Amino acid sequence: MRRDIRLFCVFVSWSIWIGGFTFYFSVVIPTGGAIVGGSEQGFITQQVTYWLNLIGTASLLILLWNAIALRSRLLIATLSIMAFCQAALFAMHYGLDAVIDAQSRNVIEPARFRTLHEFYEIAATVLWLAAMAHLFGIVRAANRHVGDVKSN
């Protein structure tokens, strides 16, 4: 029963975090950019990514619980990549915040902003790719366990 609860928590947290992450970056940002413009969308993104980062941190703790319970090298490796990228996203988020004035909706240092934003996008992409591999590892480990239970 505890295993079922753990896996349920894993799938729910992964789905909320990475599902929301995927939808936001693939649908909301391009749509918002087309409607309100890239700069205005950026100020919305600043607020949303703060929450995505917090959700990601909570999800990483649940995924860690699962990776330890399953003793899966794939889960631990992908989780390590995800955690490193999440930490980098937090750091870059604060760096990006420092070069914008949210009140007046101005970018104070455009060149620095662009550079940090490009690194932010790279870290987000690496995190997403690692999350896809992590999901594969979750399914693989869960299927392996189901096979073990059936053979007993």
Residue 24 inside a domain? The answer is yes
Q: Which residues contact 76 (CB under 8 A, 6 or more apart)?
A: 67
pLDDT of 148 over the 60 cut = no
Domain of residue 98: give its range.
2-147
Determine the pLDDT at residue 85: 97
Residue 103 inside a domain? The answer is yes
Number of structural domains (the chain) is 1
Determine the pLDDT at residue 147: 54
Query: How confident is the model over 80-105, as pLDDT tens digits?
Result: 999 999 999 999 999 998 888 878 88
pLDDT of 37 over the 70 cut = yes
Q: How many CB atoms lie within 10 A of CB 138?
A: 22
Residue 152 inside a domain? The answer is no
Collect contacts of 37-45 with beta carbons under 8 A, ≥24 apart: 39/105, 39/107, 40/105, 42/100, 42/107, 43/100, 43/102, 43/105
pTM of the model: 0.87
Mean pLDDT of 58-78: 95
